Each structure stands twice: as structure tokens, then as C-alpha cells.
Homo-oligomer: A and B are copies of this chain.
Amino acid sequence: MGVGDVSKRILLGRKLRSAQLGETLLPKRIALPVFASDALSSVAYAPDEIFIMLAIAGASQYIWSWKIGIAVAIVMAAVIASYRQTVHAYPSGGGDYEVATVNLGRTAGMTVASALLVDYVLTVAVSISSGANYASAAIPAFQDHEATIAVVLVLLLMAMNLRGIRESGTFFAIPTYLFMVAILGMCAFGLVQALGGSLPMAESAGLDIAPREGWEEPLTTFGLVVLLARAFSSGCAALTGVEAISNGVPAFKRPKSKNAATTLLMLGLIAITMMISVIVLAKQIGLKYVDPHELERLTMDGKPVPDGYDQHAVIAQIADAVFRDFSPGFYFVVTVTGIILVLAANTAFNGFPVLGSILAKDGLAPRALGARGDRLAYSNGIVFLALMAIVLIIAFDAETTKLIQLYIVGVFVSFNLSQLGMIRHWTRHLATERDAGERRRMIRSRTINAIGLSFTAVVLVVVLLTKFLAGAWITILAMTFFFIVMRGIKKHYDNVERELAADETDKALPTRVHAIVLVSKLHKPTLRALAFAKATRPNALEGVYVSVDQKDTVRLLEEWDERNTGIPLKVLHSPYREVVKPIVEYASAIRRANPRGVVAVYIPEYVVGRWWEQFLHNQTALRLKGRLLFTPGVMVISVPYQLRSSEIALEREEREEHRVHAGDLRRGRVVGDDRQTPR
């Protein structure tokens, strides 16, 4: 087989490789669970936040709960309508970041990227903390150890993602659909009981809530507005995760945009139904719910509840009431809720590397993140995400309520910039579009995005006003940090590009090649390096040996003469056992003697397979190479000699190549098992 054939086969590589790394496009029924777990799971903590905030002024304010639920639902509907426009306009999957960058410029794009990075960390922290809460509702022994459980869960997720999870549609579909069935089924059953008047009351129904100091009745109008604003902004936690589909359009079956838009609509309907049902039902069972830090405000017959009182999450309390006579129902609801929360956290582990690779492509993140399969960069991202989430979990003692304060800012920053970008997008296109029907559609889309923007802008202002001191400042600080880092990286890449830009003077060819082959012993690797060096026919060729021991030197010289390679051997003396310095000095000296020539330094390298063998070999070669790279006019040639054990490493490398990477599924990629396919 000639080289021509080979290169043709590689040029047609797509066919060759499609057996190994294929595309699976997702039908809507699978795409929904793949992208919905994050958005749907927020029903497990968003209603809780509304009740907590209203409870500040006592349980009497719970009359507002369903109205706030409706307000959140309206915002959600507007946002979902907006994103339906986005998936049509930007089917490439760049999501908010792409929309902001294209329409509002680099700074807006970087702001959105910073917000998304922070959000991924918070998605993990919030979802897992909430999950730990549900776990402790189901298993009394876990009570008061929520932070520990959450940390363990994050570490488990990290380990699984480092290892590579072979995600499949089923992996997401079963728990997500079970969650829908569980919540909607529970709500339906509960509402039926309520209509029949047989709905049991919540455990906490008998309690009363003392208002926080300064919030006693009657509230001033201003006080009421503030109270409702806070409850509303906390409830907007329900919107987190709805943007996921806009990043995943390429993974949908054709017609991609249409299917994505339909799925988004379905997602919105389900999420809103769930949320409203949960809020209404919680009110029906007489639930009383306060900030877990202020349990002493819960009173029973005028006295504070005892110290050991454990306040379970809203869904857990509802399940407990609805399934009072059927405890498997309770455990089922709580278990699938916990699972969906963990799954939601996992989406962050998937989204993080995807975002990283997009940022890398634009020069905002280390370029290595852009290539698939850079294990190191990829692992670092996962570990970073997990550690930051753990820091937050420990700092906030796994209290969802507190973490939520940090969460919503980032989400709404990207919502806002994305809507604003979309308005710009339509305006720009309207400037050139002549077709009347098309123009009408565009104007309609722009109106939808404008409505979306006005809602999300109001929410962002409310969130900033009500949550800045409660923790949102941390998010803004973290976003600023990411922003500065990205700007720094971009600036560095730009500088380097300018410094490296080719000009006309870059045509001169070196006049001669002086090759030196490093000799430590006269063994196969050295002989191979000598042979390779000879094959390149340099203008000058010599072996170079650093002598640190008289006896060894004499022995080597004898062997060299015996071999009679026809290549001269230069001996450099190094009385202090230094190896690197004499060689670097010698190479520099050759170059100085002939500034238009190039020095080719051949380094024989052993290739070993086991990790510990690495420490036993090539350390000096590595150091030497690092040092020679700083010497102008020198090129460094590694001539590998594969020891038998290197096969172990080769096999490991190949296994590595076929590993599943987090986020592959939502990027529309799937790795097939090609170990059976002939190579």
C-alpha cells in the first residue's frame, strides 16, 4: 500500500471512523429528559424558597404563595418563548454565549461566559445540597449530616465523571420520566383528596410562625412590596436550567431547531404545571416552612418547637401528607426527587467541558480545552468544578436557601444579555430582510424577545436589590474573577499571535546542520539514534558524551572504537556530575561558531509502559530537552526506543482514546465499542 492510498484513506477518514465515534441524534422523547433534569429539578427547591421568604412576615402571608407562583410561571413562559426564538436563530448550540458575543460583542460574551461558569458551580452546589436534604428526609440517620452527605455525593460525581460515564438516553430518560410521574401523580392524587376533603394535613400544619423582628403585622405597603419581591426573586430559582436546550440543538434529530423548540415548549409546560401544583398543594396541607436557621420562629401553642425538630423539604412534606396511609408512595417521591437532583448536578459536569471547548476556540480559555480528549485539561476542569462546589457546600453548610441567593444572579445575567442580543439580532436582520412574511416573523420574534427581556430585566433588578448582601456579591466577585482571567488569556493569545505573525524575512534557510547525538551508553537506543541521525545526512555529525566518572569513560571509549561507527565521539568533562549544562554550553558554542546553521541534538529515549518506570528513565533527557528549547538555533530530536513494557502504555492510550467524555451525549456524539471492529 503506497503512501498515496494511505493518505486518501485518511482524507476519507470520516467513513473510517464513523464506526468508532458516531453520532446519535436524539428524538424529542429522549432529548427532553437529557436536557430537562436541571430545569425540572428546580421544582424540588424553588417552592420552598417562596414559602421561606413569605414566612418572614408570618404564616398569614402564605395567601400570596400561589400568586407568586403564577408570577414566576409568567416569567418562565416569557423566557421559554424567548429561547424558542434562540434555537431557531442559532442552531449551532453556542447558546447564550454565542448570542451575546455575536450581537453584543466580546465583552458581553465574556460576561455571559463568566456567569455560566459560576452557574455550573452553583448548579452542583445547590442541586446536591437539596438532594442531601431529601436524603435526610427519607433516612433519619442522615439528619444533621447534610453537608457531609453533599460533599460525598460531589466527590462521587467527580469520580464518575473522571472515570467517564457511558451516558445514554435511557440513563436520563428513566429517572426523569419517573420524576414527572411521581410529582404530577402525587399532585393529582393530592388535589383529588383535597376536592374530596380527605387530604391529610402536613406535619407542620399545627405549627405557627412568628414573624421576624420588624416584620410584624400589619405590614406597611412598602414592607409588603419588599416581602413579595424577595419571595418572587427566590422563586425565580425555578427558571434555572431552562437554557440548557439552546446549547444542545445540534444533538436533536432533524429538523433540529423545530424539534428543539417543541421540546422546550414541552419542558416549559411540565415545569410550570409541576411548580404551580406543588405550591397549591403545599398551601392546602397547611405547610409551615421557615429558614432552617430560624427554626426557633416555628411555634406550637405559643412555645418554640423542641430543639430536635427537623424541617423537611416541601415536596417531602407534601408526599408525607398525600401518602400518609401509603408510605411506599412517600419513599418513591423522595427517592426520585433525590435522583433527579443528582442528575441535575451531573449536567453541570457535562456542560462545563463543552463550554470550556467553546471558550478555548475563541481564545478565552487554554487552547488545549478545545481539542477532544485532552485528558489533563478535561480532568482539571472536572476537579475544579467539584472542589469549588464543595467549598460552597461547606461554607454554606449545604443550606439550599443560602446557596440560592448566589445562584439566581448569574442565571439572570445571562438571560438578560442573551435576550438583548436576540433583539439586536432581529433588528440587524430586519435591516436587510425584504420579504414581508419573513419580516413579520422577525418582528414577532423580536417582540417576544423584548417581552422576555423586560421580564428578566425586572427580575435581575429585583434579585440584585434583594439578594446582593445575602450572597449575590460573591457571585459577582467570582464572575469578575473569571472575566479578568478570560480577558488575560485572550490578551496573551493576541500578543503571541502578533509576535508570531509571519513576515517576508522568514524565508531564510539554515545553511548547514550540525548534528550531535547524546551518548550515555552504547546500547540499542543510542545506536538507533546514531543511525537515524546518519540517515538525515547532516553536514557534521558527532556523538557527545558527558564524562562524570573516569572508569566509565574509558570503558565507553573502548566500546566506541570497537564498534567503529565512523562517527567521532566528543567527550565533555563534568567533574561535578552535571549533565545538562555541558551539553547546553556545547550546543550554544557550535551555534555561535556558525550563526546561520542549526544544531540538531538527537536524544535517545527509552519508552516504558508502567507509570513508575517513567521515574526511572528519561528524567535527565526531559530536563535537557526543556533547557535546550531555550537555546536559539537548536532543534531537539527524540529518538524513541520502545521497550517491551511500552506495549502496556500503548494499550492504555488506546483505551483512553475510546473513553466516553462527559457531555458527549449532549454534543451529539457517541463512542461505539470498536474493539471488535477490525483495524
Contacts and interface: CB of A to CB of B under 8 A. Distances in A.
A132 B429 CA distance: 76
A617 interface: yes
Interface in A602-643: 605-608, 613, 615-617, 619-620, 623, 625, 627-632, 634-643
A600 B637 CA distance: 9
15 contacts: A2-B593, A3-B540, A6-B592, A10-B572, A10-B585, A368-B619, A373-B578, A500-B641, A502-B522, A509-B535, A512-B535, A629-B640, A630-B649, A634-B640, A638-B638
A606 B497 CA distance: 11
A578 B649 contact: no
Given A367-B616, A493-B616, A643-B499, A372 B576 contact: yes
A674 interface: no
Given A11-B572, A620-B368, A640-B629, A510 B524 contact: no
Interface string A576-588: 1111111001100
Contacts of A639: 635
A594 interface: yes
Contacts of A507: 527, 531
Given A6-B592, A372-B577, A637-B637, 6 more contacts: A1-B592, A6-B589, A6-B593, A629-B642, A636-B637, A636-B638
Interface of A: 1-3, 6-7, 9-11, 13-14, 17, 21, 357, 366-368, 370-374, 376-377, 489, 492-493, 496-497, 499-502, 506-514, 521-528, 531-532, 534-538, 540, 548, 563, 570-582, 585-586, 589-590, 592-594, 598, 600, 605-608, 613, 615-617, 619-620, 623, 625, 627-632, 634-644, 646, 649-650, 653, 657, 669
A505 to B, nearest CB: 10
A371 B575 CA distance: 11
A406 to B, nearest CB: 27
A640 B630 contact: yes
A653 B636 contact: no
B644 A640 contact: no
A407 B585 CA distance: 46
Given A616-B366, A616-B493, A629-B607, A578 B371 contact: yes
A527 B499 contact: no
Contacts of A370: 577
Given A10-B589, A370-B577, A630 B650 contact: yes
A1 to B, nearest CB: 6
A13 to B, nearest CB: 5
A373 B580 contact: yes
A153 to B, nearest CB: 29
A639 B601 CA distance: 11
Contacts of A6: 586, 589-590, 592-593
Contact of A615 (B366, B575, B616, B640): B366
Given A1-B593, A578-B371, A581-B657, A509 B531 contact: yes
A509 B523 contact: no
A573 B463 CA distance: 48
A616 to B, nearest CB: 5
Nearest to A531: B509
A589 B3 contact: yes
B525 A579 contact: no
A66 B496 CA distance: 75
A502 B531 contact: no
A524 B508 contact: no
A635 B532 contact: yes
Contact of A623 (B374, B593, B598): B374
B578 A372 contact: yes
A499 B606 CA distance: 11
Given A367-B620, A377-B619, A510-B535, A7 B589 contact: yes
Contact of A577 (B357, B585, B593): B357
Interface-central residue, A377, A590, A637, A646, by most chain B CB under 10 Å = A637
A248 to B, nearest CB: 17
A13 B502 contact: no
Contact of A510 (B506, B531, B579, B631): B531
Contacts of A620: 367-368, 371, 374
Given A528-B506, A594-B3, A582 B10 contact: yes
A398 to B, nearest CB: 29
Contacts of A492: 613, 616
A247 to B, nearest CB: 17
Contacts of A582: 10, 13
Contacts of A631: 640
A419 B522 CA distance: 38
A443 B470 CA distance: 86
A467 to B, nearest CB: 33
